[in-house]
Structures are given as C-alpha cells and as structure tokens.
Chain A
Amino acid sequence: MSDVHRTYEIRCPIHGFVALNDWEWNVISQPAFQRLRRIRQLAWTDYVYPGAMHTRFEHSLGVMHVATLLYRAIVKNSKSILTSELAYNDTGLERDLQLVRFAALLHDVGHGPFSHASEDLMPIGEGGKRYAHADYSVAIIRSELRQAIEEHPLNDNYRFQAEDVAALIAGGARRSKHSVFWRDVIDGQMDADRMDYLLRDSYHAGVQYGKFDLHRLVSTIRAVSYDDRAPRFGIAQGGVHAAEALVLARYFMFTQVYFHKTRVAYDIHLRGALKELLPAGHFPRPVDGELQEFLAWDDWRVLGLLSEGKGGEHGARLKTRDHYRLVFWTPEVPHENDLRQLELLKGRLGGLVVAEEAASKSWYKTGPTDIPVVDDLDETIVNPLSDHSNVVKNLESNNQVLLYARHEDVPKAEGIVEEVRENDRSK
C-alpha cells in the first residue's frame, strides 16, 4: 500500500511549487481530471498571442494553491470572527481547508473543449436556463470523482462526501452550512480563480496587463462583520491599492486579451464549427447517461475532426486562419446615441454583418460584494473599496458591441460605416 501521508509538489510557472497530499494526488490522477490537460485555458487566443497554449489543468492546480493562501490568511487575521460568529473551532477550520482545496481544484473540471469559448453550446436545462460549466463540474464530482474523494484513507479523518465539495461549488445550503462563508474564495470578487487566471494568462500570453501584488493582497485579507450582517471577505486598509490593482488587471486583461477583436472572431468560428460537429448541435447534458459522452469531448477530439476537414465553413476558417473581420465597434461604454447609431448601422449593413458580438463585463461590482475595507486605526469603521478608490468607483462596465463581416465584404461594409458616421458628424 502506498504511503497515504506522502506529499507531492508540482512545478508551476506562477507559484513555484504547488503542494498536494496523497488524497489530492489521487483525485487529479482520475481520467476526468486528467482530461483538463486537453482543455486549453484560452481557446484560440494563441492565434493572436502565440504563447497562450496553457491548459485548465495547470490553472486548476494554481487555484487550489491560491485558495489555500487566502484561507490561511483569513484564519490568521480573523480567527475571532470565525469562532464567534461562524462557530468554528480548530478542527472545523482544518476540515474546511481541505474542503476548500477540493472545491478550488475541481471548480473547472466541467469545462468543455476550449473552455469558455464553447460554453454557449451547452444545452438548455430545466427551467429554461442554459447549463454552465459549473453544472458539469458538480455532476462530475458527484459521479466520476466520487470514489476518489470518498474512499481515500485520509478521508477517515474528515468523512467527506463528494456532495460536500459539490455543495460548496454550487451553493448547496443543506450540506454547506457555515462553510458557505468560503464560497467567496471559489467565486467572488477576490476569489482564487481570478487571482490565478490573471497572473497565469498574463504570463503565457506574454503581456504585463494581468499583474498585481498577490502576496500583499493575501496578507491584508480578512473576514469582516458589520451591521448585523453575515461575515464576508474584506481587506485591511493597507490592501486598498493591491485590491485596486486586481480590479485594473482584470480590466486590462479583458480589454487587451480576452476581448481582442481577432480572438473574439475565433470564438465565433469555434462555436460555428462545434455546432456542426456536435450531435444535435450542442453538448450532452450533465446527467446520468450523457455525462460520459460529454467527457469524451476535449480539444484533441475537436482538433482531430477539424483536421479531417469537418466543422463546415467555420471549421475551414479555423484551419486556414481566415477569420471574420471587425468592421464596426461601439465605445467600450456606449451611451444612448451610440446604441442608436448601432441600430441604424445594422439596418444599413444588413446581410454584410455575419456576426454581432457583445464584449460585456463589469469590472467591479459594488453592493453585497463590494469589498469591505477595515480602517487601520479603528476596526469598527468599515467602508467599501469603491469608496476608498476613485479608480474603482469610476470604472464603468464594458458593454461594447462588435460587428463582423467576411474578409471579402470588408471594403463595402467599411464604406457604409463611414457614410453613417459622416452623416452623424454633420448633424
């Protein structure tokens, strides 16, 4: 029998080493997790930034590492709140660290080929809402990974069920109980996912936009309790500029990398090709009897089919790098007049427009998740980050609309765009 107390370290270009215990090692050795080696993190971004060939596998390990840093910092900085308001004791805190590590490790295990780029091909579920990758992650944890989570000898110390990990990812009330506090580590404005992907994507794309001071931010994070509300994640005042940098890093990465006009064009072609390649035009559902077929879809399979000439017109465009061209775009923050001009232009361009894409993203959300900042001199004074930071407060959401045409139609489309703009200018 192997040594269940053995620990492992995996090299990581961002964090140096990511440490795992034997239990986690067993989970990542499962085929459902190893599949992430064959799911690229940023789809066809390498057609613009050639270095961006990294996978969900290394990102998932990185998220577990960062989640651990955040967890330990909060316990160190806010143990009294965790014990008095959430009824934690040391055993509970040790237990939930392992739970958070599993949730962080597995939160992306349900991605389809090429990650987010294929998410629109997930089918509509009950209630009329489209399934998301998190629905698949939860289904995979409950089925394919159940045994690896529940039957490792180390689990005799924790008695986890796979459902506990699923509940932390999905927000299940019954099983999560006070552990629901840690959901912000997995999915929040300062979550481990965001902190890892900004640094990792930036590194692999070869840009500097995604950088921020991870360790400064981690050292200032804490649980904050005020106004008879449930405790939530916050920071000490000294972390304001590190938190600002995180928000700005996200803004720059989206505008410069994720929403790059050519990268967005390849998302269009991937979706178009997948519609041709997938039976019924969409992925199987995350339910018994269909999940195995979903797991059989990865980048290798799609690339193999594209290589055989399948995938229709969009498949051919991917293969030959003959992408749609951007012919019109609104400002990042369009106002009434911009939207009116867009509607007018769409009417004039008619069939020349082959795709309309929305580059929509909110950089920072105020309200329940506005990061509370605790005053350095008086801990009873709590103000939101958006109040401390003019930069954050004034960053308006991106709602850019992009119109694309075929390469051969670009001169005609650009002529119409110029005509409409000239008319607007002369009014």
Chain B
Amino acid sequence: MNAFSMILARDLRIAFRRFGEVSTPLLFFVIVVSLFPLALSPNADVLREVGTGVLWVSALLSSLLALEGLFRGDADDGSLEQLMLSPVPLGITVLAKVAAHWLIAVLPLIALVPVLALSYALPLQALPTMIAALLLATPTLSVLIAIGAALTVSLRRGGSLVGLLILPMTAPLLIFGSRATDFGVHGEPTAGPLYLLAALAVSAVALGPVAIAAAIRVGVE
C-alpha cells in the first residue's frame, strides 16, 4: 500500500473515532440553511429564488468550519513534525489529509443537500447538476481552506483568520457552482461552468499541496 493511501486510511480512522467533531459542521449546515427561511420568507417562490445561493454559501461556510482545523490536531501532538520528517514528500501527505477530510466531512454535507434543496422548493431536475457542481467545486474549496489552515497552523487563535484569508478566493467556485445549479433549475445547458469547475479542481489539487506544504514548514519550524 503506498504512502498516500496509508495516510488517507489513518486520517479516516482517526476521524471515525472523533465522530462528534466531524458531525458538528454537518449540523451547522442544516441549522444555517434552516435559519434563512426565518430571516427571509417562508414563501416557496422566494425560497426557490434564493435556494441555490443559500445552499452554496452555507455549504462553503460549513466546509470552512470542518476544515480550518485540519492540521491543528497533528500539530499539537507532534505528529505533524513526524510526517514532515518522513521520506514521503510533504505534498503527498498533505493531499492525503485533505482527501480524507473531504471524504469524511464534505461528502456527507453534499449528501444532505438533496433533502435541503427540496425544502427550498427547488425542482428535482436541478439536483443532479447541483450535486455534480458541488462534487467538482468542493475539492478546490478543501484545498483552499487547507492552505489557510496551513498558514495559520502555528497560531493559537488561527481559526477565525482562515475565513478572512480564504473566502475571497472562493468567489469563482461560488459563481460557477451556483450558476451551474441555476442553469439546472431552469433546464439550460450546464456543461460550461461544470467544465470550469473541473479545471479549477484539477489545478488546485495539482498546485495546492505545494503551497500547503510550504506553509506547514514555515509554521512548524
């Protein structure tokens, strides 16, 4: 078994043991999505208008919550330094960690979306597009949040800073993702933005780990 899968499996196992930590962002997602109708209007037409945006922004913020502490646990107990010293390139290690957290924290989030989308009176035909867009956008999102987490890994109260640093850079994901979903809602062709999201995902997964590893090295040294 190669290093990537070993670290992936390790992180998944750890996350399963700490299920409480993993479920908090999911709960946060549901609560936030439920708050909007109270603040805006329970009217189905209004909800249908804003549903796409509400779900996307809430998913973004929940992912931030789930991932901003990505490296802090390992930094605190010293295993991050051990991983840095191993012959495995830090970029691979880091990518495995991001992948593990995407599987355990973000995928369930995406699984919740259909139910919540229906509560916002979004048409069924929009769901495949929305899921596809989220599946394509969240890897990039996870990499970006991981960059923020790595930059702040040595800070005591770094968590709140991650959002400030990273959220502006997630604008393209939000634009392409929610527009793709909107196209799906109205039955228009969705290939364009989905391809763009895919391109961003590929670039992020290829280049992101370099920045993440560099940031961890600075933080931990």
**Are chains A and B native binding partners rather than an unrelated pairing?**
no
> A residues near B, CB below 8 A?
none
> B residues near A, CB below 8 A?
none
